[in-house]
Amino acid sequence: MSNEVHKNQKKNKKPRKKLTWLFIVPSLLGGAWVVLSIFFAVLSFHIYSRLSYEEPIARLSFQKQQDKVYMANITTKNSNSEAYKIFGDQWRIDAQFIKLHAWANLFGLDALYKIERLEGRYKNLQEQNTLKHRAYDLSDQKAIQIPQFLIDYNFLIDAEYGSSTYLAIDESKIYTVYRTQSGILVRQTADPTKAKTGLMEQIIEIFKP
């Protein structure tokens, strides 16, 4: 009788082992899938953040002196604020730019730049060709300097070119110039010191002839 019970116990042990593996294998596969999903999510975020990385390099505001004449206040990275008189209804900033290969960006290296020029411009082409115009050299500003040997021999460099951006002048705006991995761009925000705080003032401004 005892031998039969012992045999039955052995028979019952085999299905339990199979059932255990049936739970372990899917659990391992599920865990591996979760780990891989997290890994690729982190990798995708890293790639996106590096290739879309932006850095503010200049900040500008304007005060109108007379029709199409403005005083531009500009602060570049690592420099004090400077004021320049510009002519026109738009402004433009130029920079020397060195774009690196995308794989270099992924390893933490960023594009190189040097701000070179600030000038006013006119939206109307005839005014641009006939009215007063002035440009200013900003290359002596202490932005990131680009060693010549990097330009000539660095295998990290993809291309070297000029990059510029321009926008209409609005005294109520603050303009921030950003360095991306492929050039410069500008974004504008409302100047809090010139924002209208009263509802009535905003309504009057809307219907103002």
Residue 118, pLDDT > 80, answer yes
Report pLDDT for 150: 62
Report pLDDT for 140: 62
Does residue 200 lie in a domain region? no
Q: Is the domain of 114 the same as that of 152?
A: yes
Q: Is the domain of 59 the same as that of 40?
A: no
Tokens of 127: 């005014």
Does residue 196 lie in a domain region? no
Q: Is the domain of 61 the same as that of 33?
A: no
Amino acid at 70: Y
Residue 191, pLDDT > 80, answer yes
pLDDT tens digits, 7-66: 555 555 555 555 566 667 677 777 888 888 888 888 888 888 888 899 999 999 999 999
Q: Is the domain of 87 the same as that of 134?
A: yes
Give the 3-state DSSP-derived string for 9-24, with helices as H, strands as E and coil as C.
HHHHHHHHHHHHHHHH
Are the C-beta atoms of residues 100 and 181 closer than 8 Å to each other?
yes
Q: Is the domain of 156 the same as that of 102?
A: yes
Of 206 and 125, the one with more pLDDT: 125
Does residue 203 lie in a domain region? no
Report pLDDT for 142: 46
Q: Specify the range with the lowest mean pLDDT, choosing from 113-127, 138-152, 186-200.
A: 138-152
Q: Is the domain of 175 the same as that of 111?
A: yes
Of 19 and 178, the one with more pLDDT: 178
Report pLDDT for 143: 44
Report pLDDT for 41: 87
Does residue 84 lie in a domain region? yes
Q: Is the domain of 136 the same as that of 122?
A: yes
Q: Mean pLDDT over all residues of the chain?
A: 82
Q: Is the domain of 17 the same as that of 4?
A: yes
Q: Is the domain of 23 the same as that of 66?
A: no
Domain that holds residue 179: 54-190
Which residue, among 169, 197, 181, 84, has the nearest Cα to 134 in the 3D structure? 84
Does residue 173 lie in a domain region? yes
Report pLDDT for 162: 93
Number of domains, the chain: 2
Whether the model clears a pTM of 0.75, i.e. scores above it, the answer is: no
pLDDT tens digits, 56-100: 999 999 999 999 999 999 998 877 789 999 999 999 999 999 999
Does residue 202 lie in a domain region? no
Q: Is the domain of 173 the same as that of 76?
A: yes
Residue 172, pLDDT > 80, answer yes
Residue 187, pLDDT > 70, answer yes
Q: Is the domain of 41 the same as that of 60?
A: no
Does residue 77 lie in a domain region? yes
Q: Is the domain of 127 the same as that of 186?
A: yes
pLDDT tens digits, 129-162: 999 999 999 886 444 555 666 666 678 889 989 9
Does residue 126 lie in a domain region? yes
Of 12 and 112, the one with more pLDDT: 112
